[in-house]
Amino acid sequence: MRRSSPLALRVVALVYLTFLLVLPVGLVFWRTFQHGAGPVVDALTRPAVLHAFRVTAVVAAWTVALNTVFGVGVALLIVRGRFPGRRALDAAVDLPLAVSPVVVGLALILVYGRFEPIGGWLETHGLQIIFAVPGMVLATVFVSLPLVVREVAPVLAEIGTEQEQAAWTLGAGPVQTFRRITLPAIRWALAYGMVLTLARALGEFGAVAVVSGRLVGRTQTATLVVDQSFQNFDQPTAYAVSVALASVAIVVLVVVNILRSREQSRA
Amino acid sequence: MSIRVSHVTKRFGAFVALDDVSVDIPVGSLTALLGPSGGGKSTLLRVIAGLERPDEGTVEIAGTDATGLPPQRRNVGFVFQHYAAFKHLSVRRNVAFGLEIRKRPKDVVRRRVDELLQLVHLEQFADRLPSQLSGGQRQRMALARALAVEPDVLLLDEPFGALDAQVRRELRDWLRRLHDEVDVTTVFVTHDQEEAMDVADEIVVINNGVVEQIGSPDELYDRPASEFVMSFLGPVTSLGGVLVRPHDLELLASPDARTVPATVARLTRLGFEVRADLEAGGQPLWVQLTRAEADRLGLHPGAGVHVRTVAPDAAPVAAPAG
């Protein structure tokens, strides 16, 4: 290796990031605030847009909650479990990364659609899944399934079981051991996984587009508003909502990184 | 008896870790489980603690049958080789853990923790995190944590295995003194025979999942029950088909009724002692003697000498055939 290679690498990485990330995101921000903040506020406070943000928030909150519980559970099973099919489960967790979200949406309709056995049965019992919030939560949970698991599992593997065994011998039951020993040990990985899940849930488009039915004022999410506004040549609204979504994601990531580095400097 | 292990068998798949093991450990004793790696000694300790379930047999602790009890309800203190420190809790909170789980009043916990930190000389480190301690300090913290709940028995799994030689020696002496002070039945696992002989009142030698011998350090050293125990506890060589300790052999310049003729092959000086490699009747053997003895005999490679055993009370152990 020549001594100049680190510099060359740095330049390549910088150019790559500039054209892929900094330029597009920067331009969206610039175009949005081209005519000041007034039009942005107008666009974001329209009832349909406000409702879309509310739907996005509800779906994202459910998704984070469900994936936190199941993510930790699945991670525990994969790392600690000794049962046939453990490897298959491990591999299956990554499936959502490989399958296109549109396919996920279609698959969910095949199971939970009004004219399918399971979906029909649920509907007669008053629970509509497809073209309603439950279906959108299901779709988002599916596409963000690996995010918590893949953050938490390596940490669980690294900390091992000795601390937990020590807690047992000191009299702590399974719940106490989890709350006092395991959870504190994985909390940063879990927080990071939750934030990634939140960011993914806020930005999910394909699967939600299929299962939501895109009903304005009912099942339309923020990302669907962006798409619809753009298609209808309402670019100010499209840009304003995009910027709002991107800002939330950036703020959350920055907060977690600050917390993380503080934790590392303390330990 | 404080701990009574009866006919315990433990398998991991096809591997038999413990094969019909029975051990009694008296109240207040300091016992070493000694043996080579993979011999089953750690498994036995974990069976006593309830961290492993035996396939057969029973474990009795302080007079009650503990075989079916989870580790939480056995009232044992357990110390791990790699400390198992709770990384996110301060030294004080680590030690207080068992008492907090038992919901003891705050001032009782505080007093007891202070007492224990003093006992293990960590009072000035109470508010540090485990990562800010040295290995020896972490292990002392783990000991205080295990002692905090006043266990019926204290179990230590290779407690000094991860420490360097100097700290190891210090902690060894310190464990001995602590045991005399606290007076809790203590069992520790080690693969280091010197450590076991130095610290323990009683040694249980375990190999291949079976108990080879139980006895005091002197009994094991002087009257080993098997060739394995003899060679595991100290250096051995063989003279005329019998295993002997190299320091129990004597070299003479002239023959008598009990000597065997031999030739010096090599001399190695190790400080004050000399190791003489000999050949007697085509068989190699070695003798440990002092420098003064070697000089008096005028040993040099190729010289002829006469060897005899000087430990008439030691029971002879047959050397392995071939």
Half-sphere exposure of B106 (CA within 13 A, CB side): 0
- The more confident residue out of B207 and B314 is B207
Mean pLDDT to the nearest integer, B102-130: 94
DSSP states of B128-167 as a string? S-GGGS-HHHHHHHHHHHHHHT--SEEEEESTTTTS-HHH
Q: Could you read off the pLDDT of B150-176 as tens digits, one per residue?
A: 999 999 999 988 888 888 888 898 889
Exposure class string for A40-56: b at 16+ Cβ within 10 A, else e: beebeeeeebebbbebb
Q: Give the C-alpha separation, A181 to A167, whole Å.
A: 8
pLDDT at residue B318 in the model: 58
Closest chain B C-alpha to A196 CA, distance in angstroms: 24
In Å, how far is B146's CA from the nearest CA of chain A? 7
CB contact under 8 A, A168 and B145: no
As a whole number, the mean pLDDT across chain B is 91
Query: Can you tell me which residue has the tokens 């304005």?
Result: A216
Given A162, A163, A168, which is nearest B71 (Cβ)? A168
CA distance B106 to chain A (A): 17
A245 or B320, higher pLDDT:
A245
- CB-CB under 8 Å, B71 with A169: yes
Alpha carbon of B199: minimum distance to chain A alpha carbons (Å):
24
pLDDT, average across residues B111-140: 94
Alpha-carbon distances, residue B128 vs A267, B117, B131, B147 (angstroms):
10, 12, 8, 20
What is the model's pLDDT at position B281? 83
Distance from CA of A172 to the nearest CA of B (A): 6
3-state SS assignment for residue B20: strand
To the nearest 10°, report the CA torsion of B221, B227, B229, B235.
60
Q: Which of A82, A170, A177, A182 to mutate to test the interface with B (most CBs of B within 10 A)?
A: A170
Higher pLDDT, A137 or B302: A137
Is residue B95 within 8 A of residue B145, CB to CB? The reply is yes
**Contact check, Cβ <8 Å, B149/A173:** no
Q: Best of B75, B88, B127, B138 to disrupt the A interface by mutation (most A CBs within 10 Å)?
A: B88
**A178 in contact with B, Cβ within 8 Å:** no
Q: What is the pLDDT of residue A252?
A: 84
> Is the per-residue pLDDT at B88 higher than 70?
yes
List chain A residues with CB under 8 Å of B70. Answer: 168
The CA distance from B32 to the nearest CA of chain A, in Å, is: 20
Count Cβ atoms below 10 Å from residue A5 Cβ, excluding itself: 9
Separation between Cα atoms, residue A244 and residue B138, nearest integer Å: 49
> What per-residue confidence (pLDDT) applies to B182?
85
Q: Is the dihedral of CA A110, A114, A115, A120 positive or negative?
A: positive
**Chain B residues within 8 angstroms (CB to CB) of chain A:** 49-51, 70-74, 76-78, 80, 82, 84-88, 97-98, 101-102, 129, 131, 142, 145-146, 148-149
User: What secondary structure does DSSP assign to B70-126, as a single string?
Assistant: -GGGS-EEEE-TT----TTS-HHHHHHHHHHHTT--HHHHHHHHHHHHHHTT-GGGT
pLDDT at residue A1 in the model: 47
Closest by alpha carbon to A163, among B145, B56, B314, B255? B145
- Work out how many CB contacts closer than 8 A connect A with B: 62
Using alpha carbons only, give the angle A206, A135, A256 rounded to the nearest 5 degrees.
65
Check residue B246 and report its DSSP letter. G
Residue carrying the six token digits 């699945």: A74
> Mean of the per-residue pLDDT values for chain A?
90
pLDDT at B68: 92
Taking CA atoms, what residue in A is nearest to B84?
Answer: A163
Which residue on chain B is closest to A188 by alpha carbon? B88
The per-residue pLDDT for B57 is 95
CB B265 within 8 A of CB B286: no
Q: Quick one: pLDDT at residue B320?
A: 56
Give tens-digit pLDDT for A6-40: 888 999 999 999 999 889 888 888 988 888 888 88
Q: Tell me, yes or no, if A185 comes closer than 8 A to chain B by beta carbon.
A: yes
Nearest to A226 by CA among A209, A213, A212, A210: A209
Q: Please list, in sequence order, all residues whose beta carbon lies within 8 angstroms of the beta carbon of residue B225, skipping any fewer than 6 positions away.
A: B212, B213
Residue B316 banded pLDDT, cuts 50, 70, 90: low
Give the residue from chain A lying closest to B145, CA to CA. A170
Helix (H) or strand (E) holding B194: helix B193-199
Between B163 and B69, residue with greater pLDDT: B69
Q: Does A175 touch chain B (CB under 8 A)?
A: no
Q: Which residue in chain A has the smallest CA separation from B144?
A: A170
Largest CA distance in chain A: 71
pLDDT in tens, B237-251: 988 888 889 988 888
pLDDT confidence of residue B322:
41
The pLDDT value given to residue A253? 82
What does the pLDDT read at residue B201? 93
Nearest residue of chain A to residue B131 (CA atoms):
A267
Point out the residue among B70, B88, B101 whose CB comes nearest to the CB of A170: B101
Residue A123 pLDDT exceeds 60: yes
ipTM, two decimals, is: 0.85
Contact B101 A172 (CB under 8 A): yes
Q: Quick: pLDDT tens for B43-64.
A: 999 999 999 999 999 999 999 9
- List, in sequence order, the alpha helices (H) in A33-128: 38-44, 47-80, 86-92, 95-98, 101-112, 117-124
Q: Which own/partner contact pairs does B226-229 have at CB distance under 8 Å and 24+ positions apart?
A: B226/B317, B227/B317, B227/B318, B227/B319, B227/B320, B229/B205
Residue B9 near residue B55, CB atoms below 8 Å: yes
